[in-house]
Structure 1
């Protein structure tokens, strides 16, 4: 509570600073962490820094990456609901701690690639949006994936079976339950603290996007890289409904169109970054977007792929639905209606 109070005081100063823009409308925007890399740097930040031009509206954005505010990722939807920010960049895995239904579109094993992730997103989106509005007084503007969340390890591994007994950094409940199911110990650590945790042995392995990890220097403190995707790391944008409702229908249409364009661009850019980082992390060419390292690539076997694919039915959906039903009765049935045809879970 003390940490949140300090963070809110920081936000108060940010909001006060924006009052000087009284001549035009200014939105306070909470962005992705600087530490997450190129999507934040090359897509998100430029979009908000040129908000008026990109939306065609007489609105500027007072944009702050979350890791310069003192606010934690799991608090983003709370500060949006409270009106401290007009728009936030949702880090879904962390935000799902306040509303587990949001995590239902990225259970371990559900999204093995970008093509499948897009189908899952399109199907789940209206229900995600409805829950967001109901619980947080927020309108969903769009979601995009960081890309397949892959494995970095300091000690030698030859496959998923070698994770047994090891400490593995995770970022959400679904991943933690999966890691536990294969005999490893899940260690929840924030992204920005993970590189140091790997260096000090607090965790032996860690999972995140290939490009984000490269940008954050994970290959400097790990030696083995296994490009098997557990999830795709959905993130995106939401606007406070009070802010949204002050816009005319025409203004709303322009703003939504601008976010649709940016989100679609990030989907494409994310895949480009992922493919390049796969090469860069293990010293292959071409390597154009991130740093070239010389990690040892761990081959992904059919057995490893089967373990992850089977996780939806065997681990992640059962565990997720049990938790979700406690706060949102009927959510498991809703999930089956939405994604049952894709997963075979009835």
Structure 2
């Protein structure tokens, strides 16, 4: 028996240290700045360097041709360990998640981060209960603005137009404003704008610039009708619970300091730069400036949209979400942004 134990111990010693912990990670849209500037370097370089024995296999959901509504359910099933994408892609399975990114209540990056931080406890509960996942971070795309291949001078000019929304709450808002919400995936928008399937589409200014929406649209309305399109990074809960406390702490600390904080820090200046890149009004650090017509949103436009949001859209969401979600939202996000769902 002693000889057998000794041989087993020797075999283990010859095998060297325990195998490294490997995470399979699925990032968001590979063509967009959030992935290129923050997600990819964080997961492929920064985190493996910060956590001893950690290896990462990294790809993106569009490179895997995943259905957008499948990303988090597959995460919960353990098909991969970590996933990140726009929270609005998951609202069909979790309508209460729409309360994370409400249009027109946060007009600066600081306000948006305050809104997100207030919502995090709710979001964490939703991901644990709906997707068997642990929320690690919430990062922004820049504010979701309006690209139109149609002449507009104000919000009133969008009445009757077909508009691709960036999320369900945005679609409800657009419909309440008199536009027709049309469901078109991000990658299909350029063709839809060019062929008249939609007249306008909502996305981040930087995303639209990177994806070439300026080639098929003429007017830019920088009113944040689509909120900030929050991107949630989450880990399969079984995988998270399998990690020791030190590894969990190291991952949490690094993802906040090296991914989440830098992404938020760049969000506000990114909007200014992206508008300059799209319209030629100012310097464009990303490349060649384009010549879209900048439509300045008036105070009347903002007040009209905000009134419809608070009187119609948010109460409709509260009813659809059910339970105590309206009260939880009032006590957290609503308290930060100064809005109460009646």
TM-score by length of 1: 0.89
Give the alignment partner of residue 257 of structure 1, picking from 242, 253, 258: 253
> CA separation of 1:293/1:67 partners in 2, compared to 1, >3 Å: closer, same or farther?
same
- Aligned partner of 1:148 among 135, 138, 143: 143
Say whether 1:286 aligns with 2:280: no
1:274 to 262, 271, 276: 271
- Contact 1:211 1:290 (C-alpha < 8 Å) held by counterparts: no
Contact 1:169 1:189 in 2 (8 A): yes
Contact residue 219 and residue 295 of structure 1 kept, 8 A: yes
* Residue 30 of structure 2: aligned partner: 34
Please report how far the alpha carbon of residue 232 of structure 1 lies from its aligned counterpart in structure 2 after TM superposition: 0.9
Determine the C-alpha separation between the residues in 1 that align with 2:247 and 2:168: 38
1:67 aligns with 2:62: yes
CA shift at 1:131, angstroms? 1.9
Deviation at 1:308, TM superposition (A): 2.6
What is the distance in 2 between the residues matched to 1:66 and 1:90?
8
Residue among 90, 93, 98 paired with 1:103: 98
Identify the residue that residue 307 of structure 2 maps to in structure 1. Answer: 310
Provide the rounded CA distance (Å) in 2 between the counterparts of 1:104 and 1:190.
Answer: 21
Spell out, residue by residue over 1:221-274, the C-alpha distance to the aligned partner (whole angstroms, 9 max, x if none).
111111111211110210111111111111111000111111011111222322
* Matches for 1:43-54 after TM superposition, within 5 Å: 43-50=38-45, 52-54=47-49
Secondary structure at 1:67 match in 2: coil
Aligned partners of 1:169 and 1:186 also within 8 Å:
yes
Give, in angstroms, the shift of residue 59 of structure 1.
1.5
Distance 2:78 2:154 in 1: 46
- Of structures 1 and 2, the larger Rg is shown by 2
Q: Is the contact between residue 52 and residue 58 of structure 1 (CA under 8 Å) also seen in structure 2? A: no
Say how many residue pairs are matched.
Answer: 321
Structure 2's unaligned 5+ residue stretches are 1-17
Q: Find out whether 1:213 has 2:208 as its counterpart.
A: yes
Match of 1:3 in 2: none
Q: 1:29 to 1:302 in 2, by over 3 A?
A: same
Classify the secondary structure of the residue corresponding to 1:109: coil
Structure-2 residue corresponding to 1:200? 195
Q: 1:309 to 1:132 in 2, by over 3 A?
A: same
Q: Residue by residue, what CA displacement relative to the aligned partner does 1:257-300 show, whole Å, maximum 9, x if unpaired?
A: 11111101111122232220111111123210244100111121
- Does structure 1 retain, via aligned residues, the 8 Å contact 2:82–2:236? yes
Contact 2:190 2:216 in 1 (8 A): yes
CA RMSD for the aligned pairs? Answer: 1.6
The CA deviation at 1:340 is: 3.5
- Alignment partner, residue 3 of structure 2: none
**Contact 1:27-1:87 within 8 A present in 2 as well:** yes
Contact 1:150 1:210 in 2 (8 A): yes
**1:242 counterpart = 2:238:** yes
CA contact (8 A) 1:214 1:291 kept: no
* Secondary structure at 2:62 match in 1: helix
Q: Structure 2 length as normaliser, TM-score?
A: 0.90
Q: Do structure 1's residue 165 and structure 2's residue 160 form an aligned pair?
A: yes
Structure 1 equivalent of residue 4 of structure 2: none
**Separation in structure 1 between the aligned mates of residue 94 and residue 28 of structure 2, nearest angstrom:** 19
Report the secondary structure of 1:158's partner residue.
coil
2:122 is the counterpart of 1:127: yes
Tell me how far 1:323 sits from its aligned partner.
Answer: 1.3
- Whole-Å separation in 2 of the counterparts to 1:54 and 1:313: 46
1:54 deviates by 4.2
Distance 1:115 1:52 in 2: 26
Question: SS of the residue aligned with 1:157?
Answer: coil
SS in 2 for 1:294: coil
Name segments (4+ residues, structure 1) moved above 4 Å.
none
Gaps of 5+ in 1: 1-21
